[in-house]
Amino acid sequence: MAPMKKITVSTLRKMKLEGQKIVMLTAYDAPTAALASQCGIDLLLVGDSLGMAVLGYDSTLPVTMEDCLHHCKAVRRGAPDAFIVGDMPFMSCHTSERDALLNAARFIQEAKCDAVKIEGDIALAPTVERMVHAGIPVMGHVGLLPQHIKTAGGYRIAGKTEDTAARVIADAKAMEEAGAFAVVLECVPAELGKRVTEELSIPTIGIGAGADCSGQVQVVHDILGLFEGFKPKHAKRYADLAAEMRKVFTAYSDEVRNGTFPTDEHSF
């Protein structure tokens, strides 16, 4: 088990400079956050993927500020010393700069997050700059934007053509110039992931963006094999916990029904 270390935005910049990979994983509840943190995961992301992973929605669009804050607070209780990034949900940054700042501040003040993540392109750079100016660390998120599936016509790999690749680079650079401390690159060709990583001084955290990013992020339910609805190409299943859970639930119900549970060992 890796030793616990207190991560800050400076640590992350140093890790990129030293070529040390950054490991980020989503977490939505206290016990998972505690285990991930004990195992030396550098950053915990309370992603709006919680909509699909735990709330039963078919996209991230229905996820609200209250949902995100509720889960961020649970993750903080489970991992008091972890660097926790709260994901700003659909529309939480777009109604006005004032709303965006107030929403971002709630992640820091109420949920005790260390930073917020904002999905969006160059148009959001002035908002990011205001947040950073106010003292809120911001992680950008460019490339495939799950909050934009309605306008994009679905989940599409970003940056496959010269024009769209240039747009991804411009979006990432705009985040860096606005003061973001890192940027998530989602579902872009590996070559583009490498190029963005080389052109930025801040770390890139890839998900489906190749091995050359400064770090990687995965959805915890995907790596555990707990989310069976869909397996993204970028995810690796390290376990099949869904199958394990089915075995446990079946064994438990069989034992209750046939009288082999509880025994004296479980009785008072």
Helix (H, G, I), strand (E, B) or coil at 211: coil
Q: Which of 119, 129, 176, 186 is catalytic?
A: 186
Q: Which residue is nearest to ligand KIV (CB)?
A: 47
* E-state strands within the chain: 22-26, 43-46, 83-87, 115-119, 138-143, 182-186, 204-207, 215-218
- Rank residues 143 and 256 by Cβ distance to ligand KIV and give the closer one: 143
- Rank residues 26 and 127 by Cβ distance to ligand KIV and give the closer one: 26
Taking CA atoms, 234 is separated from 39, 189, 231, in Å, by 22, 11, 8
Q: Is 145 in the site for ligand KIV (CB under 6 A)?
A: no
Q: Is 22 in the site for ligand KIV (CB under 6 A)?
A: no
Taking CA atoms, 192 is separated from 144, 229, 238, in Å, by 13, 29, 26
Closest residue by Cα to residue 98 from 127, 140, 135, 57: 127
The span from the CA of 99 to the CA of 83, in Å, is 24
- Rank residues 29 and 261 by Cβ distance to ligand KIV and give the closer one: 29
Site for ligand KIV in 59-88 (CB under 6 A): 87
Q: Is 176 in the site for ligand KIV (CB under 6 A)?
A: no
Q: Is 204 in the site for ligand KIV (CB under 6 A)?
A: no
The span from the CA of 22 to the CA of 185, in Å, is 13
Sequence-ordered list of residues with C-beta below 8 angstroms from that of 81, at least 6 positions apart, any chain: 4, 6, 37
Q: Is 92 in the site for ligand KIV (CB under 6 A)?
A: no
* Euclidean distance between the first and the last CA atom of the chain, given in angstroms as a whole number: 37
Of the candidate residues 7, 15, 23, 26, the single one contacting ligand KIV (CB under 6 A):
26
- The answer to whether the CB of 50 falls within 8 A of the CB of 91 is no
Output the smallest distance, CB 77 to ligand KIV, in A: 20
Clarify whether 186 is annotated catalytic. yes
Output the smallest distance, CB 49 to ligand KIV, in A: 3
Of the candidate residues 12, 44, 47, 214, the single one contacting ligand KIV (CB under 6 A):
47
Of the candidate residues 213, 219, 225, 226, the single one contacting ligand KIV (CB under 6 A):
219
* Chain residues that interact with ligand KIV, rule: CB under 6 A: 26, 45, 47-49, 87, 141, 184, 186, 207, 217, 219
Residues designated as active site: 186
